[in-house]
């Protein structure tokens, strides 16, 4: 399980610059999800062999100062709930402002590692000025200049030190499938979970949550054992008119990180909206299995091909990763709820598919010989050998003489052929072309 690092602080202290530096600083960056909500507020990074996610909580406070304060308090509380480590950014030029003191007051009560990060320290004079930030009462601080990057390596070292080692995480991991039920507000997540577990709540054990109390609950239903990561119904929407898009995506981040398979609940009466797509891409970028539930299907006016057309519309929206099971459910009438869990279990199994190298070569080499990559600048790519990599999620390497000439359309062609032969329904696949 990857740790989640949240960056908090008042506006204009350089949170976004630091965020960009953390998620783009090396080739080892796994991905940056563009278009999650307005901008890039979520990215993946790695340092010293530890992969982690970064959330930038800023960029949302719009309006007068009192709204500012309310917004910042909300962002800080979101970070406290959802993140494992918190980076609190302050500005050496302005010193401790009342708002910084306010944020520090909230953070002093928190048991998680807090890293006070003094930004804009680009000379020795400012280094001396930074001493003032001891007065925040949060202990030691790190000085950085997020514009030119000085000090960020030391900050990352300190962060990595507080993250659990990768092996520990895998040891904890039970072999039971972990399903996270995600979706936009009011799509029917809570009702789906209640319908699943029923009033008798078939709970076998309660695993103390990694974040809150009930992140993982072990269930046995329909003859399946699974862990349910319940993100629904934990909080009521606040009275303040808030940017719900941003907050619901950020809340989904945590559950997606912890799950094997994402059950994305979509409200059939609203179609497949931008928010649903964001959550879908978040799951795909994290290489999780995905099942899409089109809920409230009982409320949709139906004609002969309504279901077929709706499914085609969803697949169009999620291109190019269209090999995803779509189940039409009604939580109210309990229609196909069993089918939903059964499908999620199948996707979980598909994610563990391992293909023997000799069989894989037999199947795939014929195809790539018959349809080689198109020649570019008179250069012909010859693929000699291929194998599945020993990774937790399905990744494949194709070894060839000129990997730099293999373009995306050809990678998609190879992926589609691979999916035709092997069952990876609902599972993102990564394909690499490498020099032999």
**Is 59 annotated as a binding-site member?**
yes
- Measure Cα distances from 115 to 107, 146, 162, 232, 416 in Å: 10, 15, 11, 30, 45
pLDDT of residue 425: 92
Q: Do residues 183 and 265 make contact, with C-beta atoms less than 8 angstroms apart? A: yes
The 10 Å CB-count burial string (b at 16+, else e) for 339-357 is bbbbbbbbbbebbeeebee
**Is 12 annotated as a binding-site member?**
yes
**Is 121 annotated as a binding-site member?**
yes
Q: Do residues 323 and 426 make contact, with C-beta atoms less than 8 angstroms apart? A: yes
CA 346 – CA 340 distance, rounded (Å): 10
CA 139 – CA 403 distance, rounded (Å): 50
CA 252 – CA 249 distance, rounded (Å): 5
Q: Phi first, then psi: what are they for 335, rounded to 5°?
A: -70, 125
**Is 231 annotated as a binding-site member?**
yes
- What is the number of other CB atoms lying within 10 angstroms of the CB of residue 109? 7
**Is 213 annotated as a binding-site member?**
no
Angle at CA 212, nearest 5°, toward 48 and 266? 95
**Is 334 annotated as a binding-site member?**
no
pLDDT of residue 116: 94
Q: Do residues 281 and 249 make contact, with C-beta atoms less than 8 angstroms apart? A: no
**Is 350 annotated as a binding-site member?**
no
Alpha-helical regions (H) of 163-273: 166-172, 189-197, 244-258
Q: Do residues 219 and 204 make contact, with C-beta atoms less than 8 angstroms apart? A: yes
Lateral strand order in the sheet of 141-143:
42-47, 50-56, 3-8, 85-91, 114-119, 141-143
**Is 32 annotated as a binding-site member?**
no
The structure tokens 């291109």 sit at 319
pLDDT of residue 426: 92
Does the bond joining 320 to the residue before it have cis omega, within 30 degrees of 0?
yes
**Is 122 annotated as a binding-site member?**
yes
pLDDT of residue 229: 76
CA 88 – CA 344 distance, rounded (Å): 38
**Is 372 annotated as a binding-site member?**
no
pLDDT of residue 45: 81
**Is 10 annotated as a binding-site member?**
yes
In this structure, are strands 114-119 and 216-221 parallel, antiparallel, or unpaired? Answer: unpaired
**Is 97 annotated as a binding-site member?**
no
pLDDT of residue 79: 78
Q: What is the pLDDT along the chain (436 residues), one digit of tens a residue?
A: 678 898 888 877 888 888 888 876 433 233 333 333 334 467 778 788 788 888 887 644 444 455 567 777 777 887 787 788 999 999 999 899 888 898 899 899 888 999 999 999 988 888 888 899 999 988 899 999 888 888 888 999 999 998 877 654 444 455 788 888 888 777 777 778 777 776 544 333 333 333 333 445 677 777 778 887 766 433 334 433 445 555 666 666 777 877 889 999 998 888 888 778 878 888 888 889 999 999 888 888 877 788 899 899 998 888 888 899 999 988 777 778 888 888 999 999 998 889 899 899 988 888 888 888 888 888 888 888 999 988 888 999 999 888 888 888 889 899 999 999 999 999 999 888 888 7
| Helical (H) or strand (E) element with 280 | helix 274-285
pLDDT of residue 336: 85
**Dihedral angle sign, alpha carbons of residues 161, 163, 169, 171:** positive
- What is the number of other CB atoms lying within 10 angstroms of the CB of residue 176? 17
Please list, in sequence order, all residues whose beta carbon lies within 8 angstroms of the beta carbon of residue 307, skipping any fewer than 6 positions away: 297, 328
Tokens of 341: 């869990």
**Is 120 annotated as a binding-site member?**
yes
Q: What domains are defined for the chain?
A: 3-162 (3.40.50.300), 178-351 (3.40.50.300), 357-435 (3.30.300.20)
**Is 287 annotated as a binding-site member?**
no
- Measure Cα distances from 39 to 13, 60, 245, 249, 407 in Å: 18, 10, 12, 12, 27
- What is the number of other CB atoms lying within 10 angstroms of the CB of residue 392? 11
**Is 23 annotated as a binding-site member?**
no
**Is 45 annotated as a binding-site member?**
no
Please list, in sequence order, all residues whose beta carbon lies within 8 angstroms of the beta carbon of residue 240, skipping any fewer than 6 positions away: 70, 74
Residue 91 forms beta bridges with which residues?
119
**Is 234 annotated as a binding-site member?**
yes
């Amino acid at each position: 399980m990857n740790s989640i690092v949240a960056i908090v602080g008042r506006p204009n202290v350089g949170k976004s610059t630091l965020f960009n530096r953390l998620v783009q600083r090396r080739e080892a960056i796994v991905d940056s999800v563009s278009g999650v909500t307005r901008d890039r507020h979520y990215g993946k990074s790695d340092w010293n062999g530890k992969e982690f996610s970064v959330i930038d909580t800023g960029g949302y406070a719009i309006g007068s100062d009192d709204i500012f304060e309310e917004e910042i308090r909300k962002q800080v509380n979101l970070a406290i709930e959802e993140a494992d480590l918190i980076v609190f950014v302050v500005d050496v030029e302005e010193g401790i402002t009342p708002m910084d003191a306010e944020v520090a007051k909230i953070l002093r009560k928190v048991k998680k590692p807090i890293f006070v990060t003094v930004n804009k320290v680009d000379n020795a004079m400012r280094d001396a000025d930074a001493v003032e930030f001891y007065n925040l009462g949060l202990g030691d601080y790190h000085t950085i200049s997020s514009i030119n990057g000085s000090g960020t390596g030391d900050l990352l070292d300190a962060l990595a030190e507080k993250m659990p080692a990768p092996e520990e995480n895998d040891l904890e991991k039970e072999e039971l499938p972990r399903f996270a039920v995600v979706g936009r507000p009011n799509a029917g997540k809570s009702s789906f979970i209640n319908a699943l577990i029923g009033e008798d709540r078939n709970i076998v054990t309660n695993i103390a949550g990694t974040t809150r109390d009930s992140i993982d609950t072990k269930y046995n239903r329909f003859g399946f054992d699974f862990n349910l990561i319940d993100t629904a119904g934990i909080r009521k929407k606040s009275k303040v008119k808030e940017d719900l898009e941003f907050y619901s995506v950020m809340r989904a981040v945590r559950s997606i990180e912890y799950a094997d398979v994402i059950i994305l609940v979509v409200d059939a009466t609203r179609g497949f909206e931008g928010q649903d797509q964001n959550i879908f891409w978040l799951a795909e970028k994290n290489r999780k299995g995905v099942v899409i539930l089109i809920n409230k299907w009982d409320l949709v006016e139906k004609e002969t091909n309504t279901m077929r057309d709706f499914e085609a519309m969803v697949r169009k929206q999620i291109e190019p990763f269209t090999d995803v099971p779509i189940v039409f459910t009604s939580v109210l009438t309990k229609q196909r709820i069993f089918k939903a869990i059964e499908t999620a279990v199948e996707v979980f199994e598909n994610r563990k598919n391992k293909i023997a190298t000799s069989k894989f070569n037999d199947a795939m080499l014929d195809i790539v010989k018959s349809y080689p990559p198109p020649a570019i600048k008179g250069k012909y790519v010859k693929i000699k050998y291929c194998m599945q990599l020993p990774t937790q999620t399905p990744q494949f390497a194709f070894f060839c003489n000129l990997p730099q000439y293999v373009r995306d359309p050809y990678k998609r062609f190879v992926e589609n052929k691979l999916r035709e032969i092997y069952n990876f329904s609902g599972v993102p696949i990564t394909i690499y072309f490498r020099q032999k």
